[in-house]
Structure 1
Amino acid sequence: MAELKPVDGSDVYLWKYLPSIPAASVFLILFTLITAAHTWRMVKTRAWFTSVFALGGLFQIIGYAIRILSHYYTNEIALYVIQISFILLAPVFYAASIYMVLGRLVLSVHGERCSIIRPTRMTKIFVAGDILSLTLQGNAAGLTAKAKTQKIGEAIIVSGLFVQLVVFGFFVVVAMIFHKRMGRQVAKQPEFTTNVPWRQGLNMLYACSALIMVRSIFRVVEYLMGVDGYLLINEWPMYAFDSVLMFAVQIIFFIWFPDKFSKDDGHDFEEAELMVR
Protein backbone atom coordinates (compact mmCIF):
# COMPACT_ATOMS: atom_id res chain seq x y z
CA MET A 1 0.00 0.00 0.00
CA ALA A 2 1.31 3.44 -0.93
CA GLU A 3 2.33 5.71 1.94
CA LEU A 4 4.46 8.74 2.66
CA LYS A 5 8.06 7.74 3.23
CA PRO A 6 11.14 9.78 4.17
CA VAL A 7 14.13 9.95 1.86
CA ASP A 8 16.38 6.95 2.53
CA GLY A 9 18.66 7.51 5.49
CA SER A 10 16.95 10.69 6.66
CA ASP A 11 13.81 12.07 8.26
CA VAL A 12 13.07 14.37 5.31
CA TYR A 13 9.72 13.96 3.57
CA LEU A 14 9.56 15.20 -0.02
CA TRP A 15 5.77 15.17 -0.10
CA LYS A 16 3.37 16.70 2.41
CA TYR A 17 0.55 14.52 1.04
CA LEU A 18 0.14 11.35 -0.98
CA PRO A 19 -0.17 12.41 -4.65
CA SER A 20 -3.64 11.65 -6.00
CA ILE A 21 -3.62 9.13 -8.84
CA PRO A 22 -7.14 10.03 -10.09
CA ALA A 23 -6.37 13.77 -10.27
CA ALA A 24 -3.02 13.28 -11.99
CA SER A 25 -4.55 10.73 -14.38
CA VAL A 26 -7.33 13.12 -15.41
CA PHE A 27 -4.86 15.84 -16.34
CA LEU A 28 -2.49 13.38 -17.97
CA ILE A 29 -5.32 12.38 -20.30
CA LEU A 30 -6.49 15.97 -20.87
CA PHE A 31 -3.03 17.30 -21.68
CA THR A 32 -2.30 14.31 -23.91
CA LEU A 33 -5.47 14.90 -25.93
CA ILE A 34 -5.09 18.65 -26.32
CA THR A 35 -1.37 18.41 -27.11
CA ALA A 36 -2.07 15.75 -29.75
CA ALA A 37 -4.78 18.01 -31.23
CA HIS A 38 -2.40 20.97 -31.22
CA THR A 39 0.33 18.94 -32.93
CA TRP A 40 -2.10 17.75 -35.60
CA ARG A 41 -3.22 21.30 -36.31
CA MET A 42 0.34 22.60 -36.30
CA VAL A 43 1.38 20.03 -38.92
CA LYS A 44 -1.77 20.58 -40.99
CA THR A 45 -1.30 24.36 -41.14
CA ARG A 46 2.51 24.25 -41.14
CA ALA A 47 2.55 26.69 -38.23
CA TRP A 48 5.91 25.38 -37.06
CA PHE A 49 6.57 28.33 -34.77
CA THR A 50 3.96 26.84 -32.40
CA SER A 51 6.11 23.74 -31.90
CA VAL A 52 7.43 25.34 -28.71
CA PHE A 53 3.86 25.48 -27.41
CA ALA A 54 3.52 21.75 -28.14
CA LEU A 55 6.73 21.20 -26.19
CA GLY A 56 5.04 22.82 -23.20
CA GLY A 57 2.20 20.33 -23.56
CA LEU A 58 4.72 17.48 -23.66
CA PHE A 59 6.25 18.76 -20.44
CA GLN A 60 2.81 18.63 -18.80
CA ILE A 61 2.29 15.05 -20.01
CA ILE A 62 5.63 13.89 -18.62
CA GLY A 63 5.10 15.79 -15.37
CA TYR A 64 1.72 14.22 -14.61
CA ALA A 65 2.84 10.75 -15.70
CA ILE A 66 5.75 10.93 -13.25
CA ARG A 67 3.41 12.34 -10.60
CA ILE A 68 1.29 9.19 -10.87
CA LEU A 69 4.40 7.06 -10.42
CA SER A 70 5.43 9.19 -7.43
CA HIS A 71 2.30 8.02 -5.62
CA TYR A 72 4.08 4.72 -5.02
CA TYR A 73 7.59 6.12 -4.53
CA THR A 74 7.24 9.18 -2.32
CA ASN A 75 10.83 8.82 -1.10
CA GLU A 76 12.42 8.99 -4.56
CA ILE A 77 14.17 12.32 -5.10
CA ALA A 78 14.57 11.85 -8.87
CA LEU A 79 10.85 11.32 -9.46
CA TYR A 80 9.94 14.25 -7.23
CA VAL A 81 12.33 16.62 -9.01
CA ILE A 82 11.28 15.50 -12.51
CA GLN A 83 7.55 15.94 -11.94
CA ILE A 84 7.85 19.30 -10.22
CA SER A 85 10.34 20.58 -12.83
CA PHE A 86 8.26 19.61 -15.85
CA ILE A 87 4.97 20.93 -14.47
CA LEU A 88 6.64 24.11 -13.24
CA LEU A 89 8.43 24.82 -16.52
CA ALA A 90 5.69 23.98 -19.05
CA PRO A 91 4.15 27.50 -18.98
CA VAL A 92 7.52 28.99 -19.92
CA PHE A 93 7.17 27.32 -23.32
CA TYR A 94 3.57 28.51 -23.66
CA ALA A 95 4.80 32.04 -22.98
CA ALA A 96 7.53 31.76 -25.62
CA SER A 97 4.97 30.83 -28.28
CA ILE A 98 2.72 33.70 -27.23
CA TYR A 99 5.62 36.13 -27.67
CA MET A 100 6.28 34.72 -31.15
CA VAL A 101 2.62 35.11 -32.12
CA LEU A 102 2.60 38.84 -31.40
CA GLY A 103 5.66 39.46 -33.54
CA ARG A 104 4.19 37.53 -36.45
CA LEU A 105 0.80 39.21 -35.98
CA VAL A 106 2.36 42.67 -36.30
CA LEU A 107 4.21 41.64 -39.46
CA SER A 108 1.14 39.99 -41.00
CA VAL A 109 -0.82 43.27 -40.90
CA HIS A 110 2.19 45.42 -41.79
CA GLY A 111 1.77 47.23 -38.49
CA GLU A 112 5.43 47.79 -37.71
CA ARG A 113 4.83 51.51 -37.16
CA CYS A 114 2.18 50.74 -34.55
CA SER A 115 4.55 48.69 -32.39
CA ILE A 116 6.97 50.22 -29.89
CA ILE A 117 9.33 47.29 -30.52
CA ARG A 118 10.38 46.16 -33.96
CA PRO A 119 8.71 42.80 -34.72
CA THR A 120 12.03 41.32 -35.83
CA ARG A 121 13.42 42.00 -32.35
CA MET A 122 10.27 41.25 -30.37
CA THR A 123 10.71 37.49 -30.20
CA LYS A 124 14.38 37.73 -29.25
CA ILE A 125 13.75 40.26 -26.47
CA PHE A 126 10.85 38.45 -24.81
CA VAL A 127 12.19 34.94 -25.33
CA ALA A 128 15.49 36.05 -23.77
CA GLY A 129 13.54 36.92 -20.62
CA ASP A 130 11.73 33.60 -20.89
CA ILE A 131 15.01 31.70 -21.12
CA LEU A 132 16.27 33.49 -18.00
CA SER A 133 13.10 32.47 -16.16
CA LEU A 134 13.46 28.91 -17.47
CA THR A 135 17.09 28.70 -16.36
CA LEU A 136 16.39 29.99 -12.86
CA GLN A 137 13.41 27.72 -12.24
CA GLY A 138 14.98 24.68 -13.89
CA ASN A 139 18.21 24.87 -11.90
CA ALA A 140 16.40 25.53 -8.63
CA ALA A 141 13.87 22.68 -8.80
CA GLY A 142 16.42 20.10 -7.72
CA LEU A 143 17.51 22.22 -4.75
CA THR A 144 14.02 22.08 -3.23
CA ALA A 145 14.34 18.31 -2.76
CA LYS A 146 17.16 18.67 -0.21
CA ALA A 147 16.63 20.00 3.29
CA LYS A 148 19.87 22.03 3.32
CA THR A 149 19.17 23.78 0.03
CA GLN A 150 15.37 23.84 0.10
CA LYS A 151 14.99 27.50 1.05
CA ILE A 152 17.64 28.55 -1.47
CA GLY A 153 15.85 26.59 -4.18
CA GLU A 154 12.50 28.13 -3.31
CA ALA A 155 14.01 31.64 -3.36
CA ILE A 156 15.51 31.04 -6.81
CA ILE A 157 12.22 29.65 -8.14
CA VAL A 158 10.40 32.73 -6.85
CA SER A 159 13.01 34.90 -8.58
CA GLY A 160 12.40 33.02 -11.83
CA LEU A 161 8.66 33.47 -11.47
CA PHE A 162 9.08 37.18 -10.80
CA VAL A 163 11.16 37.48 -13.97
CA GLN A 164 8.35 35.77 -15.87
CA LEU A 165 5.76 38.14 -14.39
CA VAL A 166 7.79 41.26 -15.23
CA VAL A 167 8.45 40.10 -18.79
CA PHE A 168 4.80 39.14 -19.24
CA GLY A 169 3.64 42.46 -17.83
CA PHE A 170 5.83 44.35 -20.30
CA PHE A 171 4.62 42.10 -23.11
CA VAL A 172 0.99 42.89 -22.35
CA VAL A 173 1.76 46.62 -22.34
CA VAL A 174 3.46 46.29 -25.75
CA ALA A 175 0.47 44.33 -27.10
CA MET A 176 -2.05 46.87 -25.77
CA ILE A 177 -0.16 49.83 -27.24
CA PHE A 178 -0.06 48.08 -30.61
CA HIS A 179 -3.77 47.26 -30.29
CA LYS A 180 -4.67 50.90 -29.64
CA ARG A 181 -2.45 52.31 -32.38
CA MET A 182 -3.56 49.73 -34.92
CA GLY A 183 -7.20 50.51 -34.15
CA ARG A 184 -6.59 54.20 -34.79
CA GLN A 185 -4.77 53.40 -38.03
CA VAL A 186 -7.68 51.35 -39.34
CA ALA A 187 -10.20 54.04 -38.27
CA LYS A 188 -8.29 56.82 -40.05
CA GLN A 189 -7.45 54.80 -43.14
CA PRO A 190 -10.27 52.39 -44.06
CA GLU A 191 -8.17 51.12 -46.95
CA PHE A 192 -5.69 49.89 -44.34
CA THR A 193 -8.24 47.29 -43.20
CA THR A 194 -6.84 43.77 -43.39
CA ASN A 195 -8.45 40.35 -43.64
CA VAL A 196 -6.04 39.04 -41.03
CA PRO A 197 -7.98 38.48 -37.74
CA TRP A 198 -5.55 40.57 -35.69
CA ARG A 199 -8.11 41.64 -33.06
CA GLN A 200 -9.06 38.01 -32.45
CA GLY A 201 -5.38 37.14 -32.25
CA LEU A 202 -4.72 39.84 -29.67
CA ASN A 203 -7.72 38.77 -27.58
CA MET A 204 -6.35 35.22 -27.59
CA LEU A 205 -2.99 36.52 -26.42
CA TYR A 206 -4.62 38.58 -23.64
CA ALA A 207 -6.61 35.58 -22.39
CA CYS A 208 -3.62 33.24 -22.38
CA SER A 209 -1.39 35.87 -20.80
CA ALA A 210 -3.89 36.56 -18.01
CA LEU A 211 -4.18 32.86 -17.16
CA ILE A 212 -0.42 32.33 -17.12
CA MET A 213 0.08 35.43 -14.96
CA VAL A 214 -2.54 34.27 -12.43
CA ARG A 215 -0.83 30.89 -12.32
CA SER A 216 2.59 32.50 -11.81
CA ILE A 217 1.26 34.69 -9.00
CA PHE A 218 -0.16 31.56 -7.36
CA ARG A 219 3.23 29.84 -7.60
CA VAL A 220 5.00 32.88 -6.13
CA VAL A 221 2.60 32.96 -3.17
CA GLU A 222 2.93 29.18 -2.80
CA TYR A 223 6.70 29.32 -2.39
CA LEU A 224 6.68 32.50 -0.31
CA MET A 225 4.41 30.76 2.21
CA GLY A 226 7.12 28.13 2.71
CA VAL A 227 7.18 24.35 2.97
CA ASP A 228 4.61 24.33 5.75
CA GLY A 229 2.30 26.81 4.05
CA TYR A 230 -1.26 25.83 3.18
CA LEU A 231 -0.64 25.83 -0.55
CA LEU A 232 2.21 23.31 -0.34
CA ILE A 233 0.74 20.95 2.23
CA ASN A 234 -2.54 20.62 0.30
CA GLU A 235 -2.82 19.22 -3.21
CA TRP A 236 -6.03 20.81 -4.49
CA PRO A 237 -4.66 24.38 -4.89
CA MET A 238 -2.10 23.19 -7.45
CA TYR A 239 -4.80 21.60 -9.60
CA ALA A 240 -7.15 24.57 -9.21
CA PHE A 241 -4.63 27.34 -9.89
CA ASP A 242 -2.12 25.60 -12.14
CA SER A 243 -3.44 22.49 -13.88
CA VAL A 244 -6.89 23.87 -14.73
CA LEU A 245 -5.54 27.25 -15.85
CA MET A 246 -2.80 25.76 -18.04
CA PHE A 247 -5.24 23.34 -19.65
CA ALA A 248 -7.47 26.34 -20.37
CA VAL A 249 -4.49 28.08 -22.02
CA GLN A 250 -4.02 25.12 -24.35
CA ILE A 251 -7.74 25.02 -25.17
CA ILE A 252 -7.84 28.76 -25.96
CA PHE A 253 -4.70 28.54 -28.08
CA PHE A 254 -6.17 25.61 -30.01
CA ILE A 255 -9.57 27.21 -30.63
CA TRP A 256 -8.08 30.50 -31.83
CA PHE A 257 -5.05 28.87 -33.39
CA PRO A 258 -2.66 31.52 -34.80
CA ASP A 259 -2.09 29.87 -38.18
CA LYS A 260 -3.23 33.04 -39.99
CA PHE A 261 -0.05 34.72 -38.78
CA SER A 262 2.26 31.97 -39.99
CA LYS A 263 4.42 32.42 -43.05
CA ASP A 264 6.32 29.53 -44.58
CA ASP A 265 9.51 31.54 -44.92
CA GLY A 266 11.87 29.59 -42.74
CA HIS A 267 11.49 31.89 -39.74
CA ASP A 268 9.20 29.44 -37.94
CA PHE A 269 12.05 27.04 -37.25
CA GLU A 270 14.47 29.84 -36.43
CA GLU A 271 12.11 31.22 -33.77
CA ALA A 272 11.43 27.79 -32.26
CA GLU A 273 15.15 27.08 -32.05
CA LEU A 274 15.59 30.04 -29.68
CA MET A 275 13.95 27.98 -26.95
CA VAL A 276 15.40 24.53 -27.67
CA ARG A 277 19.06 25.33 -28.24
Structure 2
Amino acid sequence: MTVLSERGDADFDLYPYRPSATAGYAFVALFGLGGLVHLCMLIPLRAWFFIPFVLGCAGEAAGYYGRAWSHANIRSGSPYLLQLMLILASAPLLAASIYMTLGRLVRALDATDHAFLSPRWTTKIYVIIDIGSFVTQLMGTAMQANGGAEGAKQGTTLVIAGLGVQLGAFAIFILSVAIFHRRLVLEPTDVSMEHKTWNRYMWMLYAVSGLIVVRSVFRLAEFVEGSNGKLYKTEAFLYVFDASLMFAVVVNMAALHPGVLLRGTRKRERGIPLL
Protein backbone atom coordinates (compact mmCIF):
# COMPACT_ATOMS: atom_id res chain seq x y z
CA MET A 1 0.00 0.00 0.00
CA THR A 2 1.62 3.27 1.11
CA VAL A 3 4.76 4.12 3.08
CA LEU A 4 5.12 6.70 5.86
CA SER A 5 8.24 8.76 6.37
CA GLU A 6 10.07 8.71 9.71
CA ARG A 7 8.50 11.94 10.91
CA GLY A 8 4.99 10.42 10.58
CA ASP A 9 3.93 12.46 7.52
CA ALA A 10 4.19 11.37 3.92
CA ASP A 11 5.36 13.55 1.05
CA PHE A 12 2.49 12.19 -1.05
CA ASP A 13 -1.22 11.53 -0.58
CA LEU A 14 -1.91 8.47 1.57
CA TYR A 15 -5.34 7.98 0.02
CA PRO A 16 -6.44 8.04 -3.64
CA TYR A 17 -9.35 10.23 -2.48
CA ARG A 18 -10.21 12.53 0.42
CA PRO A 19 -11.89 10.35 3.09
CA SER A 20 -15.41 11.43 3.94
CA ALA A 21 -15.57 13.05 7.36
CA THR A 22 -19.36 12.68 7.41
CA ALA A 23 -19.27 8.93 6.78
CA GLY A 24 -16.39 8.51 9.22
CA TYR A 25 -18.12 10.32 12.06
CA ALA A 26 -21.41 8.53 11.31
CA PHE A 27 -19.78 5.16 11.92
CA VAL A 28 -17.93 6.47 14.96
CA ALA A 29 -21.36 7.22 16.41
CA LEU A 30 -22.91 3.95 15.25
CA PHE A 31 -20.16 1.69 16.56
CA GLY A 32 -19.86 3.77 19.72
CA LEU A 33 -23.58 3.39 20.37
CA GLY A 34 -23.43 -0.31 19.52
CA GLY A 35 -20.54 -0.84 21.91
CA LEU A 36 -22.41 1.01 24.66
CA VAL A 37 -25.53 -1.12 24.14
CA HIS A 38 -23.49 -4.33 24.34
CA LEU A 39 -21.67 -3.08 27.42
CA CYS A 40 -24.99 -2.34 29.12
CA MET A 41 -26.29 -5.81 28.18
CA LEU A 42 -23.07 -7.60 29.13
CA ILE A 43 -23.27 -6.79 32.84
CA PRO A 44 -26.84 -7.82 33.77
CA LEU A 45 -26.66 -10.88 31.49
CA ARG A 46 -23.24 -11.82 32.93
CA ALA A 47 -22.11 -12.43 29.36
CA TRP A 48 -18.41 -11.83 30.03
CA PHE A 49 -17.46 -13.58 26.79
CA PHE A 50 -18.77 -10.44 25.06
CA ILE A 51 -15.90 -8.32 26.39
CA PRO A 52 -13.92 -8.83 23.13
CA PHE A 53 -17.07 -7.81 21.23
CA VAL A 54 -17.30 -4.52 23.13
CA LEU A 55 -13.59 -3.93 22.51
CA GLY A 56 -14.15 -4.65 18.82
CA CYS A 57 -16.90 -2.01 18.69
CA ALA A 58 -14.54 0.47 20.35
CA GLY A 59 -11.82 -0.41 17.85
CA GLU A 60 -14.18 0.05 14.91
CA ALA A 61 -15.28 3.44 16.26
CA ALA A 62 -11.66 4.54 16.73
CA GLY A 63 -10.76 3.32 13.25
CA TYR A 64 -13.50 5.35 11.59
CA TYR A 65 -12.50 8.33 13.72
CA GLY A 66 -9.10 7.97 12.06
CA ARG A 67 -10.75 8.17 8.64
CA ALA A 68 -12.75 11.25 9.64
CA TRP A 69 -9.54 12.79 11.02
CA SER A 70 -7.76 12.05 7.74
CA HIS A 71 -10.24 14.23 5.87
CA ALA A 72 -8.37 17.33 7.03
CA ASN A 73 -4.94 16.04 6.01
CA ILE A 74 -4.59 13.06 3.71
CA ARG A 75 -0.82 13.06 4.21
CA SER A 76 -0.87 12.76 7.97
CA GLY A 77 0.48 9.40 9.08
CA SER A 78 -1.16 9.08 12.51
CA PRO A 79 -4.83 8.97 11.46
CA TYR A 80 -3.96 6.85 8.43
CA LEU A 81 -2.23 4.25 10.58
CA LEU A 82 -5.04 4.39 13.16
CA GLN A 83 -7.75 3.57 10.65
CA LEU A 84 -5.66 1.04 8.75
CA MET A 85 -4.83 -1.02 11.83
CA LEU A 86 -8.04 -0.77 13.84
CA ILE A 87 -10.63 -1.31 11.12
CA LEU A 88 -8.84 -4.50 10.08
CA ALA A 89 -7.98 -5.75 13.56
CA SER A 90 -11.36 -5.11 15.19
CA ALA A 91 -13.17 -7.77 13.16
CA PRO A 92 -11.33 -10.67 14.87
CA LEU A 93 -12.38 -9.25 18.25
CA LEU A 94 -16.03 -9.33 17.18
CA ALA A 95 -15.50 -12.82 15.77
CA ALA A 96 -14.03 -14.09 19.06
CA SER A 97 -17.34 -13.58 20.89
CA ILE A 98 -19.24 -15.21 18.03
CA TYR A 99 -16.99 -18.27 18.25
CA MET A 100 -17.45 -18.47 22.01
CA THR A 101 -21.23 -18.19 21.63
CA LEU A 102 -21.50 -21.59 19.96
CA GLY A 103 -19.70 -23.46 22.74
CA ARG A 104 -21.81 -21.80 25.41
CA LEU A 105 -25.06 -22.55 23.58
CA VAL A 106 -24.06 -26.20 23.19
CA ARG A 107 -23.45 -26.55 26.92
CA ALA A 108 -26.48 -24.49 27.93
CA LEU A 109 -28.79 -26.66 25.81
CA ASP A 110 -27.26 -29.83 27.29
CA ALA A 111 -26.41 -30.95 23.75
CA THR A 112 -22.70 -31.73 23.95
CA ASP A 113 -23.26 -35.05 22.16
CA HIS A 114 -24.63 -33.16 19.14
CA ALA A 115 -21.62 -30.88 18.74
CA PHE A 116 -19.20 -31.26 15.84
CA LEU A 117 -16.36 -30.77 18.33
CA SER A 118 -16.30 -30.72 22.12
CA PRO A 119 -17.47 -27.25 23.28
CA ARG A 120 -14.29 -26.90 25.31
CA TRP A 121 -12.12 -27.52 22.26
CA THR A 122 -14.39 -25.52 19.95
CA THR A 123 -13.85 -22.36 21.97
CA LYS A 124 -10.12 -22.92 22.41
CA ILE A 125 -9.40 -23.79 18.78
CA TYR A 126 -11.38 -20.93 17.26
CA VAL A 127 -10.14 -18.34 19.73
CA ILE A 128 -6.52 -19.40 19.13
CA ILE A 129 -7.09 -19.14 15.37
CA ASP A 130 -8.76 -15.77 15.89
CA ILE A 131 -5.86 -14.47 17.97
CA GLY A 132 -3.47 -15.61 15.24
CA SER A 133 -5.54 -13.80 12.62
CA PHE A 134 -5.69 -10.68 14.81
CA VAL A 135 -1.94 -10.59 15.44
CA THR A 136 -1.10 -11.34 11.80
CA GLN A 137 -3.31 -8.55 10.48
CA LEU A 138 -2.04 -6.12 13.12
CA MET A 139 1.59 -6.90 12.28
CA GLY A 140 0.85 -6.71 8.56
CA THR A 141 -0.75 -3.28 8.75
CA ALA A 142 2.10 -1.98 10.96
CA MET A 143 4.67 -3.24 8.42
CA GLN A 144 2.74 -1.64 5.58
CA ALA A 145 2.87 1.73 7.25
CA ASN A 146 6.40 1.71 8.60
CA GLY A 147 8.45 -0.95 6.87
CA GLY A 148 9.54 0.72 3.63
CA ALA A 149 8.77 -0.70 0.18
CA GLU A 150 9.84 -4.24 1.08
CA GLY A 151 8.08 -4.05 4.44
CA ALA A 152 4.89 -2.85 2.75
CA LYS A 153 4.97 -5.85 0.43
CA GLN A 154 5.57 -8.27 3.30
CA GLY A 155 2.90 -6.52 5.35
CA THR A 156 0.34 -6.95 2.58
CA THR A 157 1.21 -10.65 2.41
CA LEU A 158 0.68 -10.97 6.17
CA VAL A 159 -2.69 -9.20 6.02
CA ILE A 160 -3.79 -11.47 3.16
CA ALA A 161 -2.69 -14.50 5.15
CA GLY A 162 -4.59 -13.29 8.23
CA LEU A 163 -7.75 -12.68 6.21
CA GLY A 164 -7.39 -16.08 4.56
CA VAL A 165 -7.12 -17.79 7.93
CA GLN A 166 -10.17 -15.88 9.15
CA LEU A 167 -12.16 -16.97 6.11
CA GLY A 168 -11.14 -20.61 6.53
CA ALA A 169 -12.01 -20.55 10.23
CA PHE A 170 -15.46 -19.12 9.54
CA ALA A 171 -16.13 -21.71 6.83
CA ILE A 172 -15.45 -24.49 9.34
CA PHE A 173 -17.37 -22.61 12.03
CA ILE A 174 -20.49 -22.32 9.85
CA LEU A 175 -20.21 -26.05 9.12
CA SER A 176 -19.99 -26.72 12.88
CA VAL A 177 -23.08 -24.61 13.52
CA ALA A 178 -24.99 -26.39 10.73
CA ILE A 179 -24.08 -29.87 12.01
CA PHE A 180 -25.04 -29.02 15.58
CA HIS A 181 -28.25 -27.32 14.43
CA ARG A 182 -29.39 -30.30 12.36
CA ARG A 183 -28.58 -32.84 15.06
CA LEU A 184 -30.45 -30.86 17.70
CA VAL A 185 -33.50 -30.49 15.45
CA LEU A 186 -33.55 -34.24 14.85
CA GLU A 187 -32.84 -35.15 18.49
CA PRO A 188 -33.92 -32.28 20.77
CA THR A 189 -32.82 -32.23 24.39
CA ASP A 190 -35.12 -31.50 27.31
CA VAL A 191 -33.56 -28.05 27.64
CA SER A 192 -33.99 -27.21 23.93
CA MET A 193 -37.63 -28.32 24.07
CA GLU A 194 -38.22 -26.03 27.04
CA HIS A 195 -36.33 -23.09 25.51
CA LYS A 196 -37.91 -23.17 22.07
CA THR A 197 -36.27 -19.89 21.05
CA TRP A 198 -32.88 -21.63 20.76
CA ASN A 199 -33.47 -22.08 17.01
CA ARG A 200 -33.41 -18.29 16.49
CA TYR A 201 -29.90 -18.12 17.88
CA MET A 202 -28.68 -20.67 15.35
CA TRP A 203 -30.01 -18.56 12.50
CA MET A 204 -28.45 -15.50 14.11
CA LEU A 205 -25.06 -17.27 14.06
CA TYR A 206 -25.53 -18.08 10.37
CA ALA A 207 -26.39 -14.45 9.67
CA VAL A 208 -23.48 -12.81 11.50
CA SER A 209 -21.01 -15.42 10.20
CA GLY A 210 -22.20 -14.78 6.65
CA LEU A 211 -21.80 -11.03 7.08
CA ILE A 212 -18.22 -11.42 8.32
CA VAL A 213 -17.40 -13.85 5.49
CA VAL A 214 -18.61 -11.33 2.87
CA ARG A 215 -16.64 -8.57 4.59
CA SER A 216 -13.49 -10.72 4.73
CA VAL A 217 -13.83 -11.69 1.05
CA PHE A 218 -14.03 -8.00 0.19
CA ARG A 219 -10.96 -7.08 2.24
CA LEU A 220 -9.05 -10.05 0.86
CA ALA A 221 -9.93 -9.03 -2.72
CA GLU A 222 -8.95 -5.45 -1.93
CA PHE A 223 -5.48 -6.41 -0.70
CA VAL A 224 -4.90 -8.95 -3.46
CA GLU A 225 -5.91 -6.34 -6.06
CA GLY A 226 -3.51 -3.83 -4.50
CA SER A 227 -3.42 -0.06 -4.19
CA ASN A 228 -4.06 0.44 -7.90
CA GLY A 229 -7.27 -1.57 -7.83
CA LYS A 230 -10.78 -0.19 -8.03
CA LEU A 231 -11.76 -1.59 -4.61
CA TYR A 232 -9.00 0.37 -2.87
CA LYS A 233 -9.57 3.54 -4.88
CA THR A 234 -13.34 3.71 -4.26
CA GLU A 235 -14.20 4.68 -0.69
CA ALA A 236 -17.86 3.71 -1.03
CA PHE A 237 -16.89 0.03 -1.24
CA LEU A 238 -15.34 0.21 2.24
CA TYR A 239 -18.55 1.53 3.77
CA VAL A 240 -20.82 -0.87 1.88
CA PHE A 241 -18.81 -4.08 2.28
CA ASP A 242 -17.03 -3.45 5.59
CA ALA A 243 -18.49 -0.76 7.85
CA SER A 244 -22.17 -1.50 7.10
CA LEU A 245 -21.74 -5.27 7.32
CA MET A 246 -19.84 -5.12 10.61
CA PHE A 247 -22.41 -2.77 12.08
CA ALA A 248 -25.11 -5.22 10.98
CA VAL A 249 -23.24 -7.87 13.00
CA VAL A 250 -23.38 -5.58 16.06
CA VAL A 251 -27.11 -5.01 15.59
CA ASN A 252 -27.91 -8.71 15.09
CA MET A 253 -25.95 -9.72 18.19
CA ALA A 254 -27.82 -7.12 20.24
CA ALA A 255 -31.27 -8.03 18.87
CA LEU A 256 -30.72 -11.73 19.63
CA HIS A 257 -28.16 -11.58 22.39
CA PRO A 258 -27.19 -15.15 23.34
CA GLY A 259 -26.84 -14.02 26.95
CA VAL A 260 -30.64 -13.91 27.17
CA LEU A 261 -30.93 -17.62 26.38
CA LEU A 262 -27.98 -18.47 28.63
CA ARG A 263 -29.59 -16.57 31.51
CA GLY A 264 -32.79 -18.55 30.97
CA THR A 265 -30.97 -21.88 31.14
CA ARG A 266 -29.17 -20.78 34.32
CA LYS A 267 -32.54 -20.00 35.91
CA ARG A 268 -33.77 -23.45 34.90
CA GLU A 269 -30.78 -25.07 36.59
CA ARG A 270 -31.60 -23.20 39.80
CA GLY A 271 -35.25 -24.18 39.58
CA ILE A 272 -36.49 -20.64 38.93
CA PRO A 273 -39.72 -20.63 36.86
CA LEU A 274 -39.37 -19.10 33.40
CA LEU A 275 -41.51 -16.06 32.65
**TM above 0.5:** yes
Q: Structure 2 CA distance, aligned partners of 1:182 and 1:250? A: 26
Letter in 2 for 1:165: L
| Equivalent residues of 1:101, 1:261 under 8 A apart | no
Larger displacement relative to structure 2 (67-76 or 82-91): 67-76
Aligned to 1:20: 20
Q: Structure 2 CA distance, aligned partners of 1:81 and 1:252? A: 29
Letter in 2 for 1:171: F
Please state how far the C-alpha of 1:190 moved relative to its aligned partner: 7.4
Aligned to 2:140: 140
Encode CA deviations 1:184-221: one digit per residue, 9 max, x unaligned. 112xx779723163211111111000000000000000
| Equivalent residues of 2:11, 2:75 under 8 A apart | no
| Equivalent residues of 1:179, 1:202 under 8 A apart | yes
Letter in 2 for 1:85: M
Q: Matches of residues 54-69 of structure 1 in structure 2 within 5 Å?
A: 54-69=54-69
| Equivalent residues of 1:114, 1:182 under 8 A apart | yes
Gap change, CA 1:191 and 1:13, over 3 Å in 2: closer
| Equivalent residues of 1:109, 1:196 under 8 A apart | no
Q: TM-score, normalised by structure 2?
A: 0.88
Aligned to 2:162: 160
Q: Structure 1 CA distance, aligned partners of 2:77 and 2:190? A: 61
Q: Structure 2 CA distance, aligned partners of 1:73 and 1:238? A: 19
Q: Structure 2 CA distance, aligned partners of 1:192 and 1:72? A: 54
Q: Structure 2 CA distance, aligned partners of 1:220 and 1:199? A: 32
| Equivalent residues of 2:10, 2:77 under 8 A apart | no
| Structure 1: stretches of 5+ with no match in the other structure | 1-5, 265-277
Counting aligned pairs with the same residue, the percent is 35
Count matched residues: 257
Q: Structure 2 CA distance, aligned partners of 1:218 and 1:228? A: 15
Gap change, CA 1:112 and 1:26, over 3 Å in 2: same
Q: TM-score, normalised by structure 1?
A: 0.87
Aligned to 1:199: 199
Encode CA deviations 1:210-237: one digit per residue, 9 max, x unaligned. 0000000000000111111011111110
Aligned to 1:72: 72
| Equivalent residues of 2:192, 2:198 under 8 A apart | no
Aligned to 1:261: 262
Q: Structure 1 CA distance, aligned partners of 2:55 and 2:176? A: 25
Using CA pairs under 8 Å that are at least 6 residues apart, name the structure with larger relative contact order, 1 or 2. Answer: 1
Q: Matches of residues 1-277 of structure 1 in structure 2 within 5 Å?
A: 11-145=11-145, 146-186=148-188, 193-195=193-195, 197-259=197-259, 260-261=261-262
Gap change, CA 1:192 and 1:154, over 3 Å in 2: closer
Q: Structure 1 CA distance, aligned partners of 2:13 and 2:150? A: 13
Q: Structure 2 CA distance, aligned partners of 1:243 and 1:69? A: 17
Gap change, CA 1:124 and 1:196, over 3 Å in 2: farther
* RMSD of Structure 2 on Structure 1 (CA): 2.0
1:75 alignment partner, SS class: coil
| Equivalent residues of 2:110, 2:191 under 8 A apart | no
Letter in 2 for 1:105: L
Letter in 2 for 1:176: A
Please state how far the C-alpha of 1:115 moved relative to its aligned partner: 0.8
Q: Structure 2 CA distance, aligned partners of 1:38 and 1:102? A: 18
Please state how far the C-alpha of 1:12 moved relative to its aligned partner: 4.3
Please state how far the C-alpha of 1:117 moved relative to its aligned partner: 0.7
Please state how far the C-alpha of 1:45 moved relative to its aligned partner: 1.7
Larger displacement relative to structure 2 (247-256 or 141-150): 141-150
| Equivalent residues of 1:185, 1:192 under 8 A apart | no
Please state how far the C-alpha of 1:65 moved relative to its aligned partner: 1.4
| Equivalent residues of 1:136, 1:157 under 8 A apart | yes
Please state how far the C-alpha of 1:159 moved relative to its aligned partner: 0.6
Letter in 2 for 1:230: K
Please state how far the C-alpha of 1:13 moved relative to its aligned partner: 3.2
Gap change, CA 1:192 and 1:246, over 3 Å in 2: closer
Q: Structure 1 CA distance, aligned partners of 2:200 and 2:156? A: 38
